[in-house]
Amino acid sequence: MARKLPATDVVIVGLGWTGSILAHELTEAGLNVVAIERGPWRDTSSDFPVTYAQDELRYHIRHELFLRPAQETLTFRHNARQTALPMRTWGTFMPPNGVGGGGVHWNAETWRFLESDFVLKSHLTDRYGAKFLPDDMTIQDWGVTYADLEPHYDQFEYLCGTSGYAGNLAGQKRQGGNPYEGPRSREYPTPPQKQPYGPTLWAKAAVESGFQPFPQPSGNLSQAYTNPLGVTLGPCTYCGYCEWFGCGNYSKASPQTTILPTLLPKENFKAHTLCTVQRINTDGTGKRATGVTYIDSNGEEWEQPADLVLLCAFQLFNVHLLLLSGIGTPYDPNTGEGVIGRNYSYQVTSAVDAFFEDQNFNPFIASGAIGMCIDDFNGDNFDHGSLGFVGGGYIGAVQTNGRPILGTRAPSGTPSWGAEWKKAVAEHYLSTYTTVTHGSCYSYKDCFLDLDPTYTDAYGRKLLRMTFDFHDNEMKMSQYLTDRLADITQKMGPKVMEKHPRTAPYNVNVYQTTHTCGGAVMGDDPKTSAVNRYLQSWDVPNLFVFGATAFPQNAGYNPTNTVGALAFWGAKAIREQYLKNPGPLVQA
């Protein structure tokens, strides 16, 4: 029997990027906020200090900062004909854990989505006709536009101090920036990071090929920056330990380096760590959330009543909690009806390895988000009419790391261990360069999340089940992008080049990205979306769901900037509309 705590105005499930942003915005509005975080407290100087932050074995190989599968995992199958099995170690994606969430260990690539990405279905239908899209593709418009989100992209970038160069300043195109991006209301808060040799060489090749390369926007800062909350970040040292790692010297934007210092001292904010929310409670009507029930590290069960419940957990686990709590209608792939678990999508990445004879790229001079990219093959920036697929991604030379364990590449055919392997690694470590594509992943009728009928978690709850595989459209796209990437990379003059387009079936054992998306998507129609354009549950108006959970499909970019912008967008709606008149912000 849960012990009941005093009621609070707002309870937030998960204290990562979105939880921190919402907690900040709503405590500023004077509300009492309680955040409940499944993982531990995390602080720079005690959890990833400069003295040992750069430990690949500890953080990357042994997954120190990530969720323990024994605490929570999910089952996986490629299609509904298979029986799903539990993931007992992480592979293809890395669910975050602890205060700061994925914001602690991201690469900090801070992209905005294209204007057309937010109206994808209408845009593609208008341009190519409805029949151009595969029958089972379930893409849709977001219900928000780029123009709606622009001020909030700006807010998130200025919170983070993002380093970049605007290619479109209030409609004015600028040489050196991304010519395809939507208009920005102002320049990036800090200039781009310095580019190492590899991206510089690739950018030259891109220009020779007739493209307009630009520096990737980075949340690893080019210079010291004090954000609007008064919190100061330092300049990146190009150590190359970003994704999988916490930043030891305060130069990567994270909740710890941007928000938490001002949030934690607030009298109207409280956080419980190592507490796992079991379910969202609703009243007898099922139309009103009454709070959440959680279990602490001592096994004690607590009920936290609240007027407003904000789901800010990692994408997969937001969906899990909605399903466990019986909120909204679960998606049924046979009928296409129901919304919880619908439109699960991912990201389609690929690479080209180029082996040189007479180059030294110093791959260890790196940051998770330095690089030179082109956007000519992203979204619908190019004519898909004759290509037989939709979607795309940015491609470029992104120098994220040259770490000693996994940053060792050798040409195919090299033995994977032993003297020959050592010799090949020594020969190729400095002279190998990998370029990448970061492609979209659209949503399909047969890609979804639901509850597993067999397997349960440590608390006896049904595990989340993922049913997902890559579709032909995405594989064609990946092949096309990888070829275009190789065309440019070839101009750098490698001796040998190997293309690695993404291929089906989806391999859950190999890391690709942690960009899992959808499952409780936003939209204008309650039949095809779980939340409205303000991230408010159609079924339970005092419940909002944040994160990439809301993406109806994924674009050809890293998601965090859009996740951050949506958090500020939702916070504004709560502050300016919901609090004045609690109830549905959009009439179904």
Partner 1 sequence: MRAAVLGVLLGAAIAPAAWGAAQDFDEVQRGRYLATIGDCTACHTAPGGKLMAGGRSIETPFGNIVSPNITPDRETGIGAWTDDQFYASMHDGTSADGDNLYPAMPYPHFTKVTRDDVMAIRAWLNTLEPVVNRVEANQLPFPFNIRAAMIGWNELFFTPGVWQDDPKKSAEWNRGGYLVEGLAHCGACHSAKNMLGADESGGHLQGYALQGWFAPAITSGDGVGLDKWTEDDIVEYLKTGTNRFATAAGPMAEAVSDSTQHISIADLRAMAAYLKDQRGPSGDKRKPMDAKDPVMRAGEAIYVDKCAACHTMNGEGIARLFPTLSASPTVEAENPLSVLHVILNGTRAVQTRLAPTAPAMPAFSWELTDAQVAAVATYVRNAWGNAAPAVTAGDVSSARKTLEARRE
User: Mind telling me the catalytic residues?
Assistant: 515
Q: Residue 9, SS3?
A: strand
Minimum CB distance to partner 1, residue 224 (Å): 5
Q: 234, 305, 493, 526: which one contacts partner 1 (CB under 8 A)?
A: 234
**DSSP secondary-structure letter at 438?**
E
Segment near partner 1 (CB under 8 A), from 248-256, 285-293, 336-344, 486-494? 248-256
Q: Residue 466, SS3?
A: strand
519 φψ region: left (φ > 0), alpha (ψ -120 to 50), beta (else)? left
Report the amino acid identity of residue 468: F
Segment near partner 1 (CB under 8 A), from 96-104, 176-184, 232-240, 569-577? 232-240
Minimum CB distance to partner 1, residue 259 (Å): 10
Smaller CB distance to partner 1: residue 236 or 441?
Answer: 236
Tokens representing residue 1 in the block: 């029997």
Rounded Cα distance, 23 and 29, in Å: 10
Q: 33, 94, 144, 231: which one contacts partner 1 (CB under 8 A)?
A: 231
Smaller CB distance to partner 1: residue 259 or 463?
Answer: 259
Segment near partner 1 (CB under 8 A), from 146-154, 260-268, 276-284, 344-352? 260-268
Minimum CB distance to partner 1, residue 45 (Å): 4
H/E segment holding residue 473 = helix 472-490
The answer to whether 80 contacts partner 1 (rule: CB under 8 A) is no
**Could you tell me the CA-to-CA distances from 24 to 130, 260, 421, 530 in Å, in that order?**
43, 8, 51, 25
Smaller CB distance to partner 1: residue 73 or 254?
Answer: 254
The answer to whether 82 contacts partner 1 (rule: CB under 8 A) is no
Segment near partner 1 (CB under 8 A), from 44-52, 140-148, 345-353, 418-426? 44-52
Residues 6+ positions from 364 with CB-CB distance below 8 Å: 240, 401, 402, 403, 407
Minimum CB distance to partner 1, residue 43 (Å): 7
Rounded Cα distance, 89 and 334, in Å: 30
Smaller CB distance to partner 1: residue 260 or 565?
Answer: 260
Smaller CB distance to partner 1: residue 50 or 274?
Answer: 50
How many residues does this entry show for the chain?
Answer: 588
State which of positions 46-65 bind partner 1 (CB under 8 A): 46, 49-51
Smaller CB distance to partner 1: residue 49 or 176?
Answer: 49
Rounded Cα distance, 53 and 256, in Å: 15
Build a one-symbol-per-residue string for 264-283: x at contacts with partner 1 by CB under 8 A, - elsewhere. -x------------------
Minimum CB distance to partner 1, residue 273 (Å): 18
- C-alpha gyration radius of the chain: 23
The answer to whether 160 contacts partner 1 (rule: CB under 8 A) is no
Segment near partner 1 (CB under 8 A), from 209-217, 246-254, 280-288, 549-557? 246-254
Largest Cα span, the chain: 72
Q: Residue 532 class from Cβ within 10 Å (0-12 exposed, 13-18 middle, 19+ buried)?
A: buried
Q: 9, 28, 43, 150: which one contacts partner 1 (CB under 8 A)?
A: 43
| Residues pairing with 456 in the sheet | 462
H/E segment holding residue 519 = strand 517-519
Smaller CB distance to partner 1: residue 45 or 454?
Answer: 45
The phi, psi pair for 364, rounded to 5°, reads -75, -15
The answer to whether 229 contacts partner 1 (rule: CB under 8 A) is yes
Smaller CB distance to partner 1: residue 251 or 562?
Answer: 251
Q: 71, 125, 145, 249: which one contacts partner 1 (CB under 8 A)?
A: 249
Rounded Cα distance, 3 and 155, in Å: 39
Q: 74, 233, 369, 522: which one contacts partner 1 (CB under 8 A)?
A: 233
The phi, psi pair for 141, rounded to 5°, reads -75, 155
Segment near partner 1 (CB under 8 A), from 34-42, 169-177, 258-266, 550-558? 258-266
Minimum CB distance to partner 1, residue 304 (Å): 23
Smaller CB distance to partner 1: residue 46 or 335?
Answer: 46
The answer to whether 261 contacts partner 1 (rule: CB under 8 A) is yes
State which of positions 384-413 bind partner 1 (CB under 8 A): none
Minimum CB distance to partner 1, residue 63 (Å): 22
Q: 71, 125, 209, 232: which one contacts partner 1 (CB under 8 A)?
A: 232
Minimum CB distance to partner 1, residue 400 (Å): 18
Q: 44, 138, 162, 168: which one contacts partner 1 (CB under 8 A)?
A: 44
Rounded Cα distance, 373 and 211, in Å: 10
Smaller CB distance to partner 1: residue 224 or 406?
Answer: 224
The answer to whether 250 contacts partner 1 (rule: CB under 8 A) is yes
The answer to whether 340 contacts partner 1 (rule: CB under 8 A) is no
Minimum CB distance to partner 1, residue 252 (Å): 13
Alpha-carbon dihedral of residues 128, 129, 131, 134, nearest 10 degrees? Answer: 50
Tokens representing residue 451 in the block: 């509850």
H/E segment holding residue 18 = helix 17-28
Rounded Cα distance, 167 and 177, in Å: 4
Residues 6+ positions from 203 with CB-CB distance below 8 Å: 195, 213, 372, 397
The answer to whether 166 contacts partner 1 (rule: CB under 8 A) is no
Rounded Cα distance, 419 and 240, in Å: 27
Task: For 338-373, give the secondary structure using H, E and C.
Answer: CCECEEEECCEEEEEEEECCCCCCCCCCECCCCEEE
Tokens representing residue 46 in the block: 């005690």
| Residues pairing with 522 in the sheet | 531
Interface size with partner 1, residues (CB under 8 A): 24
Asked if residue 339 lies in contact with residue 329, where contact means CB atoms within 8 angstroms, the answer is yes
Chain residues in the site for partner 1 (CB under 8 A): 43-46, 49-51, 224, 226, 229-235, 237, 239, 248-250, 261-262, 265
